[in-house]
A and B are shown apart, each in its own frame.
Chain A
Amino acid sequence: MSDTWIVAEKELLDLRRDRLFAILIGFLAIASLISVAVASADFRNQLDAYNLYVTNLAQSGSTVTAAAPQLFPLKLLRGGIEYLEILGALFAIVLGYGTIAKEKYRGTLALFLSRPVSRFSFAGGKVLGLSIVWLGVVVVLTAVSLVAVVTIGHAPIGGIDVARLLIAGGFAWLYLVFWTALAVGLTALSTRLSTGLIVALVIWLAFVLIIPQIGDTMDPDNQVPGGLFATLNIQKTDELSVLAQFSAFDGIRNGLEVSSVTKHFERLTFAFLGIKDQYNQLPLGLVWTAMLPYAITLTAATLASVVFAALATTRRTLQRNQS
């Protein structure tokens, strides 16, 4: 059994009995569940209204076929994704910070460092333990959301939907690991415990809230509820030719958005779950093709964050900050 796994195992055991962890995850689960449940209930109402309309048409002897509403059940998960985007990232930072901070202020770090352990076992074990925790959280949230969509929304879920959901869950896991590892590294590097948390929260504020918000505000289509172009009944081709006149502006807006890892996560999950209309009828292969750059950057960002945590949380930096 490697030192890294020994640390990860201890971390899992410790977190399982940690009250703050239970509260954070419970809150995230309830918020996501309520969001999905409300959306599912709305979905069910739309479905019922359509079915009633069809029944009434048939009873009146009409031979007209009513067009089915364009309902995509995975769209119901939008609220849950947005909670993960903001609260999930915040809680990932809190847990990443907490796992290092507790060792430092409790004084258990000295006991650990006096053991013949390998160079990266401390950081590796911490990040591995928290990654397993986030994997469990994502699996549970995904399963609960799926059950809510099926039972409350009476939404038809097929194999392809489950596949899309699993892919989105994978990206959610990468996104949470990114924030947790970043907080681990920053807390290990900082001599004063609060500095690591403050720096991580400033990064969170900038990349999760401010930059995506600026991008959204600059998006012309977001100026009117329901979309500017849709409200004006402008077709997609015309929309693109209008936007072509503002390519420099849109380039800046897009550049701002893609500088945020949160936007990468959002674009990926919105595409795979079909929350963005342009992707919900596309075959999975084409969604992959369109989203590959984002998938690569999110994966690379997560790997970079884990490497940063490993390099920052060495015996040398921890010893330096102990003294």
Chain B
Amino acid sequence: MTTSAISTSALSRSFGAHQALADLTLDVAQGEVFGLLGHNGAGKTTTVNLLTTLLEPTAGDASISGHSVKTDAAGVRACIGYLPENVQFYDNLTLLENLRFFARLSGLRRPDARIRDVLGFLDFTGHDTQRVGTFSKGMRQRVGIAQAVLHSPAVLFLDEPTSGLDPEGVRTLRETIVRLNHEFGMTIFMNTHLLSEVTKTCTSIGILNHGRLVHHDSMTNTLAAFPADESLEDIYFQLDSAAA
């Protein structure tokens, strides 16, 4: 029996009169790579913000590795890694100083050896003493991944991780996600617009439409339910328009 790494129950969030997320009930098993799809404003980032405790739900609850986002937010934060969209760092600080800062906040007391391991894993060595302000978007994204996995979290949240990356960057990121999942068994929850990447990396997907989950199944089942010549893009548009 697989246990849930992420479990939500009627999770909802509204901003004034606007219902950004309504009654999201979802389970993501340990070791899965889950892709949350949806058009702009569908509620994907709100979902990630709720699951990472950056937002408080207006109704419902969610648990990450058994920790409730409502009653044990500190427990949630201790077991997650988070890469926001357009991740930014302290530009005046070097790569090593930035990573040391986030590692210490995550409870690593002597983080240098771990930082070097992670940077080696990401094939991102030789930039330790370079200020992050001089880094390209792709390099920042790697630093973003590094800071998110330094403390070996059980669940990794990625919000539009491919946003603004060139094709080379997208491929590197995809390979990194797959390796993190395969080598460390990390559960990965990602929001993305890039459907081709979802097909290559995700083991299950969910589709949000105007704050409601309109589809949730494994990638295999989702693809099998439609004619073989249909791409995920075709399937996505069919499911999304059917829900609208």
CB atoms of B109 and A1 under 8 A apart: yes
State whether A108 and B104 are in contact (beta carbons under 8 Å apart), knowing that A114-B53, A319-B56 are contacts in the complex: no
The verdict on A3 contacting B56 (CB below 8 Å), with A111-B84, A115-B77 known, is no
Within 8 Å by CB of B107, from A10, A18, A107, A116, lies A116
Complex CA gap A117/B86 in Å reads 23
Indicate whether B80 reaches chain A with its CB closer than 8 angstroms: yes
Q: Mark A15-59, 1 if CB is under 8 A from B, else 0.
A: 001100000000000000000000000000000000000000000
A3/B105 in contact, CB under 8 A: yes
Are the CB atoms of A111 and B82 closer together than 8 Å? yes
Count residues of chain B with CB under 8 A from any CB of chain A.
31
Say whether A116 contacts B106, CB under 8 Å: yes
Contact with B along A77-119 (1 / 0, CB 8 A): 0000000000000000000000000000011101111111100
B184 contacts the other chain (CB 8 A): no
Is A296 among interface residues, defined by CB-CB distance under 8 A? no
Determine if A6 is an interface residue (Cβ-Cβ < 8 Å). yes
Q: Separation in Å of the B143 CB from the closest CB of chain A?
A: 11
Interface of chain A residues 104 through 138 with chain B (CB within 8 A): 106-108, 110-117
A117 to B49, CA, bound (A): 17
Chain B residues positioned under 8 Å from A14 (CB to CB): 90, 92-93
Give per-residue flags for B79-105: 1 if the beta carbon is below 8 A from chain A beta carbons, else 0: 010101011111111000100011011
> Is A13 in contact with chain B by the CB < 8 A criterion?
yes
Which listed residue, B49, B74, B92, B106, touches A17 by the CB 8 Å rule?
B92
Contact partner, B147, options A1, A17, A18, A111, Cβ 8 Å: A111
Complex contact B77–A114 (CB within 8 A): yes
| CB pair A323 B15 closer than 8 Å | yes
B residues 117-151 near A (Cβ < 8 Å) are 147
Known A13-B97, A116-B74: A6·B88 in contact at CB below 8 Å = no
Which of the listed residues B15, B56, B87, B92 has the most CB atoms from chain A within 10 Å of its own CB?
B92
A107 and B106 contacting across the interface, CB-CB below 8 Å: no
Q: Return the chain B residue nearest A107 by Cβ.
A: B88
A322 at the interface (CB under 8 A from B): yes
What CA separation (Å) do A283 and B75 show in the bound complex? 58
Q: Is the CB of A110 within 8 A of B54?
A: yes
Q: Who on chain A is nearest to B106 by CB?
A: A115
Q: Given the complex of chains A and B, what is the CA–CA distance between A142 and B234 in angstroms?
A: 72
Residue of B nearest to A19 (CB): B92
CB distance from B215 to the nearest CB of A (A): 27
Q: How far is the CA of A20 from the CA of B106 in the complex (A)?
A: 30
Per-residue 0/1 for B55-80: is the Cβ within 8 Å of any A Cβ (1 yes, 0 no)? 11000000000000000001101101
Query: Nearest chain B CB to A315's CB is how many angstroms away?
Result: 9
Chain A: CB-nearest residue to B78: A116
**B89 in complex: contacting residue of A17, A108, A115, CB < 8 Å:** A108
Partner of B93, one of A10, A110, A114: A10
Contacts of A6 in B (CB 8 A): 101, 104-105
What is the CB-to-nearest-CB distance from A236 to chain B, in angstroms, rounded to a whole number?
55
Per the bound structure, the CA–CA distance linking A209 and B187 in Å amounts to 58
Give CA–CA (A117, B103) in the complex, Å: 12
B130 to chain A, nearest CB (A): 13
The smallest C-beta distance from B12 to any residue of chain A, in angstroms, reads 15
- Cβ of B7 within 8 Å of any chain A Cβ, yes or no, is no
Q: What are the residues of chain B within 8 A of A13 when measuring CB–CB?
A: 92-93, 97
**Contact across chains for A111 and B52 when beta carbons are under 8 A apart:** no
Which chain B positions have C-beta within 8 A of A108?
88-90
Choose one: B52, B86, B88, B91; the contact of A114 (CB below 8 Å): B52
Contacts of A117 in B (CB 8 A): 77, 105
Nearest residue (CB) in B for A108 is B88
Q: How far is the CB of A6 from chain B (nearest CB, A)?
A: 5
Do the beta carbons of A114 and B54 come within 8 Å of each other?
A: yes
- Determine the chain B residues whose CB is within 8 A of the CB of A1 once the complex forms: 104, 109
* A107, A108, A111 pick with most chain B CB within 10 angstroms: A111
B164–chain A nearest beta-carbon distance, Å: 13
Residues of A within 8 A of B56 (CB): 319
Most buried by A among B15, B78, B93, B102: B102
Q: A319 and B54: CB pair below 8 A?
A: yes
Cβ-defined contact, A114 with B80, below 8 A: yes
Please give the distance in Å from B96's CB to the nearest CB on chain A.
11
Apart from A14-B92, A111-B84, A116-B77, list 11 A-B contacts with CB within 8 A. A6-B105, A13-B97, A17-B92, A108-B89, A110-B82, A114-B53, A114-B80, A114-B82, A115-B102, A117-B77, A323-B55
Interface, chain A (partner B; CB < 8 A): 1, 3, 6, 10, 13-14, 17-18, 106-108, 110-117, 319, 322-323
18 A-B pairs with CB atoms under 8 Å apart are A1-B109, A10-B93, A106-B88, A107-B88, A110-B54, A110-B82, A110-B84, A111-B102, A113-B54, A114-B80, A115-B77, A115-B106, A116-B75, A116-B105, A117-B77, A319-B55, A322-B54, A323-B49
3 closest Cβ pairs, A-B complex: A17-B92, A116-B77, A114-B82
